Amino acid sequence: MTATMKQTLTAARAGSKSAFIPFVMAGDPDMATSEKIIIALQQAGADMLELGVPFSDPAADGVTVQRAAERSLNSGATLHGVMELVKKLRSKGVTMPICLFSYLNPVYQLGYENFIKQAQAAGAQGALIVDLPPEEAADYLQATRAHNFETVFLCSPTTSASRLKLVDAASSGFVYYVSREGVTGAQNALPQQLQDKLSALRAGMTNLIAVGFGISTPDQVRQLDGKADGIVVGSALVKLIEENQNDPVETIARSVKKLKNY
């Protein structure tokens, strides 16, 4: 039985730990390899998965994730294909919660109701639609609440207190705290005051908090462990896939074990 995203992060908080959440792009470099990578991620200790839906204009992502979306689209990936991948992963024993990471366009084209029903039928717990702000999400939220589909919205170092309340109210899975301004991508050092900001967010929000954007090394994971309810590592793993096209599975598994066990 797959836990919800909220249950997984609640358990991590109860243990004074952070759930480890890798991000990979579905279909990078192809669907068959994606399947093997994700199975290896769970075996290596991942607690939850953020699964990218490739999009042709991924404006919030840095070049590493943009190139992954390009490779995925070139291999023929579609939103329907991503749903099929999730279904196959469930049939192969993947039990960790799966959060779909998508841009609005493919979701809107399919229709909110259809997207949610298909995602749930496949085995996904929720979604983060990166370019859908809570101020414009009324129809989406109505559909997600009707089907108990978990929502994730973003906040950042520049989010105002009033907007934080909106993000908190709209999110039912967790709130994703972007650790810095700008696009996704690995960084050499964590921003100063990040731990203080996370502490303030956790004190002021009803939701659980995951932190991401730029976290890439075991030492950075160690510094943040227990300071957020979840830690997302994306670009660093996506880069490993890019650099090891012939056989990324073992490389990814080794990297996740190091990140998880720092």
Domains of the chain: 5-261 (3.20.20.70)
Q: Is residue 50 annotated as a catalytic residue, yes or no?
A: yes
Q: What is the pLDDT of residue 231?
A: 98
Please classify residue 226 by burial: count the beta carbons closer than 10 Å to its beta carbon, then call 0-12 exposed, 13-18 middle and 19+ buried: middle
Q: What is the pLDDT of residue 185?
A: 47
Q: What is the pLDDT of residue 188?
A: 63
Is the Cβ–Cβ distance between 13 and 63 less than 8 Å? no
Q: Among 47, 50, 150, 168, which one carries the catalytic annotation?
A: 50
Amino acid found at 52: G
Looking at the chain, the number of H-run helices and the number of E-run strands are 12, 8
What is the spatial distance between Cα 199 and Cα 253, in angstroms, rounded to a whole number?
31
- Model confidence pLDDT, tens digit, residues 170-227: 999 999 999 865 445 455 668 778 999 999 999 999 999 999 988 999 999 999 999 9
Q: Is residue 61 annotated as a catalytic residue, yes or no?
A: yes
Q: What is the pLDDT of residue 59?
A: 75
Q: What is the pLDDT of residue 1?
A: 79
Q: Among 28, 35, 61, 150, which one carries the catalytic annotation?
A: 61
Is the Cβ–Cβ distance between 194 and 215 less than 8 Å? no
Q: What is the pLDDT of residue 189?
A: 66
Collapse the DSSP code of 250 into the 3-class scheme (helix H, G, I; strand E, B; otherwise coil) and give the result: helix
Q: What is the pLDDT of residue 190?
A: 80
Give pLDDT < 70 ranges for the chain: 180-189
Q: CB-based contacts of 77: which residues, under 8 Å, 6+ apart?
A: 26, 27, 31, 54
